Amino acid sequence: MAPSTPLLTVRGSEGLYMVNGPPHFTESTVFPRESGKNCKIYTFSKDGTLFAWGNGEKVNIINVTNKRLLHSFDLPKTVCLEFSPKNTILATWQPYTTSKDGTAGAPNLQLYDGKTGTCLKSFVQKKAQNWCPSWSEDEIICARNVNNEVHFFENNDFNTIANKLHLQKINDFVLSPGSQPYKVAVYVPGSKGAPSFVRLYQYPNFAGPHAALANKSFFKADKVTMLWNKKATAVLVIASTEVDKTGASYYGEQTLHYIATNGESAVVQLRCPDGEHILTATCAPRLRVNNGYKIWHYTGSVLHKYDVPSNGELWQVSWQPFLDGVFPAKTITYQAVPSDIPSEEPKVATAYRPPALRNKPVTNSKLHEEEPPQNMKPQPGHDKPLSKTALKNQKKHEAKKAAKQEARSDKTSDVAPAPAPQSVPQNTVSQSASGDPEVDKKIKNLKKKLKAIEQLKEQAAAGKQLEKNQLEKIQKETAILQELEDLELGI
């Protein structure tokens, strides 16, 4: 059993030592202080009963409960230490070296029996990345990445490879937590235009094209971090790039992917509080995103979103514990709003009518009321506020309109107007062609813009989140309506 009082290991300029936890915070006698700066590595076992450290000469293991030194190994160059989940094995790693004549170096990854202190197996492990083998929590299986394969051992028998998972250019893997059935997530980086992908398998079913439980491919991934949930039913994949090509971030780009063992997958939306930095978007499983983004939280079939203040990038992702311990059976997917609304040619050219006047008798009523933006300063003599620029433009517009009407009256004063046919409605001017092809073309384009704006407004009313350029289009509706009215009236 671990001590009732928690211990804190401290490494600094005064060497390596232990401190008793609250309430005293005094130096502990469990561990004799190692003075000097050569103590650079140490680790506790998963249950806290064992402690291993290296002092530049040896690697030692003590029992924290009875303060007894269990084993000492002559490994002066060791830089990494790790206990297996049940303290059965101590794994040590030293940098791989070759001789001056180019001959292969000695095995640098050792696995020691925690009880007897004997070396069970030595491997050549050239890279420090993912150096340590991975065990299941019950230590029934152990796995390590070797070239294009993941080798699996059973019951800590490292002399026999029980199974192999072969994938070209496999870069990383993560075993699922818990007991059987064991699952493994593997990552293969993309190359030559091909996407990266993560696949989920159930041990030992690795053979055949349909052996994978799930597959998720994606671009923009220089490296990934894979996180299983506690029930081993889904994996979160944080994919990141070293450089953000858009220039939005100094730290590169990050995307968060959700992959379930039942085959479902999605991209989780992350949005900064500034409302502009969207990594990508679509799904919301039961998860919590820490440090500066939105928290997406499921309660039954209801999705809740909470803003978390931050000025930084994505740093950590963790599963939020739930009493039932499972993910919702159904995920929510949001359809992305297209940046450009496809234009459709109307079958019949008709004057634009706002929704309030549709399905009503045709009249000569005004199509719209002038409504300036709310931030305009109020001016004397106006019911609604107008800015200086708006007042100036209004005066120019009225002067231009008066000049055109005066010129038209002078031109037609000597010619009697022809009587209009009895069958033509009073508002035929707004529906018939103007006689000028250029004007007709402008009218047609304006109607297309108004139709697109109407579609955007309907999408916004339905709860869709519009992009910045789409909101700007809606704001131009008043100006477009005014221009359309002027063209149809021949002004």
* Contact in structure between 200 and 214 (CB atoms under 8 Å): yes
**For residue 313, pLDDT beyond 60:** no
pLDDT tier at 301, thresholds 50, 70, 90: very low
Predicted pLDDT at 479: 85
pLDDT tier at 300, thresholds 50, 70, 90: very low
179 versus 70: which is more confidently predicted?
70
* Contact in structure between 202 and 181 (CB atoms under 8 Å): yes
- What mean pLDDT do residues 50-69 have? 92
- What mean pLDDT do residues 251-255 have? 77
Predicted pLDDT at 131: 95
**For residue 322, pLDDT beyond 50:** no
Cα separation, 262 vs 216, in Å, equals: 12
pLDDT tier at 278, thresholds 50, 70, 90: very low
Q: Which two tokens stand for residue 19?
A: 């401190």
- How far CA 240 is from CA of 218, 267, 268, 294, in Å, comes to 11, 13, 14, 18
Minimum mean pLDDT range among 152-156, 222-226, 265-269:
265-269
Predicted pLDDT at 82: 96
pLDDT > 70: percent of the chain? 65
- Cα angle, residue 268 at apex, residues 265 and 270 outer, rounded to 5°: 170
443 versus 118: which is more confidently predicted?
118
Predicted pLDDT at 288: 38
* Contact in structure between 114 and 87 (CB atoms under 8 Å): yes
End-to-end, the C-alpha distance of the chain in Å comes to 92
Minimum mean pLDDT range among 314-318, 328-332, 484-488:
328-332
Minimum mean pLDDT range among 26-35, 76-85, 434-443:
434-443
Minimum mean pLDDT range among 41-45, 82-86, 154-158, 458-462:
458-462
Phi-psi region of 173 (alpha: psi -120 to 50; beta: other; left: phi over 0): beta
Please count the CA atoms within 13 angstroms of the CA of 125 that sit on its side-chain side.
22
**For residue 336, pLDDT beyond 50:** no
- What mean pLDDT do residues 80-88 have? 95
Helix crossing, 468-475 with 437-461: angle to 10°? 120
Mind listing the pLDDT tens digit for each residue in 418-468?
444 444 344 333 444 566 788 888 888 888 898 898 888 888 887 788 888
**For residue 208, pLDDT beyond 50:** yes
- How far CA 245 is from CA of 182, 190, 196, 238, 253, in Å, comes to 39, 17, 18, 18, 8
Predicted pLDDT at 292: 39
Mind listing the pLDDT tens digit for each residue in 138-158?
999 999 999 899 999 999 999
Predicted pLDDT at 353: 57
Predicted pLDDT at 360: 56
- What mean pLDDT do residues 281-290 have? 35
Minimum mean pLDDT range among 48-57, 226-235, 242-251, 464-473:
242-251
Nearest-CA neighbor of 490 among 413, 412, 393? Answer: 412
Query: 3-state DSSP call for residue 84?
Result: coil
Average pLDDT, the chain: 74
**For residue 293, pLDDT beyond 60:** no
**For residue 349, pLDDT beyond 80:** no
**For residue 212, pLDDT beyond 60:** yes
- What mean pLDDT do residues 267-294 have? 44
**For residue 187, pLDDT beyond 50:** yes
